[in-house]
Amino acid sequence: MARLFWLGWPLALALTALTLLLVLLFPAAAWIGAALTLAVVAIVLIYRFGWNGTPLLLQPVVAEGPALAVVVIQGEGIPPERYQPVAAAIQRHVPDQRLWVAIPRFLGDSPIPREMPLVVEQAQRALRHAGLPPGSPCLFIAHSVGGIAIQKYLKAFPEQGIGQVLMGSFLGRWNLRGLDARGRTLIDYPLPMLTLAGTLDGLARKIGRAHV
């Protein structure tokens, strides 16, 4: 049931049903449901047809090896183009795999968690069109606020990835479920994760210092 509240056609259909119910029961308030429905449909269509721009794609630099996809999620206000050098460096350091990289663009360059299904679907379409074999594993790399968006998405849809790398970001406290008998933090998260933070990395710099 929780998946219904992510942006997509199921939510649009649910809002349409709500609008029709309001028309019958509270006509004066029906415009609220109609406005929400139109907003959701507009966002879905924007991502479906790439009106926000198509994802940046990096083709594999080797011809042999297992296929792997990497999807890079931008940080708040940072254009996807800024992540191309990092993506290219990752490809150079994985010479034994055919590595496709997609760097999608959020509306307004703002990684909103509820838009993640649309962004991931858009990236997956672009990767398939670029030749990624169906069923290939996908790793997500996210920066800053993008790390908050991707961890919420993958907790709801763990089947979409094999793991995540959070750069200048960290696992939210809502994933913590207490301490064990030895005082160690227990984490409730379905996928493997690597956190990377540096001393110059904005709000996450203190975490970088803590782990040095």
Confidence (pLDDT) at 207: 56
- From first to last of its 212 residues, the chain has per-residue pLDDT tens of 345 456 666 777 777 777 777 777 777 777 787 888 888 888 888 898 998 889 999 999 998 999 999 999 999 999 999 999 999 999 999 989 999 999 999 999 999 888 899 999 999 999 999 999 999 999 999 999 999 999 999 999 999 999 999 998 888 888 888 888 888 888 899 999 998 877 666 666 555 444 43
Q: Which position has the token pair 């991707």?
A: 150
Largest CA distance in the chain: 63
Confidence (pLDDT) at 93: 92
Report pTM: 0.85
Confidence (pLDDT) at 205: 59
Confidence (pLDDT) at 107: 92
Residue 15 CB burial class (10 angstroms; 0-12, 13-18, ≥19): buried
- R_g (Cα) of the chain, nearest Å: 19
Q: Cα torsion at 204, 120, 107, 74 (round to 10°)?
A: 30
Structure tokens at 16: 């349409």
Helix intervals (H) in the chain? 9-25, 30-48, 84-92, 116-129, 145-156, 205-210
Confidence (pLDDT) at 116: 92
Confidence (pLDDT) at 114: 87
* Torsion sign (Cα): 31, 109, 130, 147: negative
